[in-house]
Amino acid sequence: MLSSILGIFSNDIGIDLGTANTLVFVKGKGIVLTEPSIVAKDIKRDKVLAVGQEAKIMMGKTPEYIDVIRPLKDGVIADFEVTQEMLKYFIKKVHKNIPFINWLKPRPRVIVGVPSGITEVEKRAVIDAVKQSGARDVYLIAEPMAAAIGVGLPITEPGGNMIIDIGGGTTEIAVISLSGLVVSHSIRVAGDEMSDAIIQYLKRHHGIVIGEQTAEKIKMRLGSAYPSEKDQEEMEIGGVDIRNSPISTVIKGEEIRKALEDVVDNIVNAVKTALEKTPPELGADIVERGIVLAGGGSMLYGLDIRIREEVNLPVFRAENPLTAVVEGIGKTLEDIDLIKRVSME
Which residues fall in the annotated binding site for ATP?
Answer: 19-21, 168-170, 216-219
Kind plus residue range of the DSSP H or E element containing 184: strand 180-187
Task: Please report which residue ranges of the chain form alpha helices under DSSP H.
Answer: 2-8, 53-56, 80-94, 120-132, 143-150, 191-206, 212-222, 253-259, 261-277, 280-289, 303-311, 324-333, 336-342
Q: Give Dmax (Cα) for the chain.
A: 64
CA distance 107 to 4: 8
For the annotated binding site, the residues are 19-21, 168-170, 216-219
The residues, any chain, with a CB within 8 Å of residue 28's CB and separated by 6 or more, are 11
Q: How far apart are CA 310 and CA 41, in angstroms?
A: 45
CB atoms within 10 A of CB 271: 22
* Distance of alpha carbon 255 from alpha carbon 145, whole angstroms: 35
- Residue 41: helix, strand or coil by DSSP? strand
List CB contacts of 342: < 8 A, sequence separation 6 or more.
141, 142, 145, 149, 155, 179, 332
Which residues have a Cβ under 8 Å from the Cβ of 303 and sit 6 or more positions away?
A: 166, 225, 226, 264, 267, 293, 297
3-state secondary structure of 290: coil
Partners of 224 in beta bridges: 301
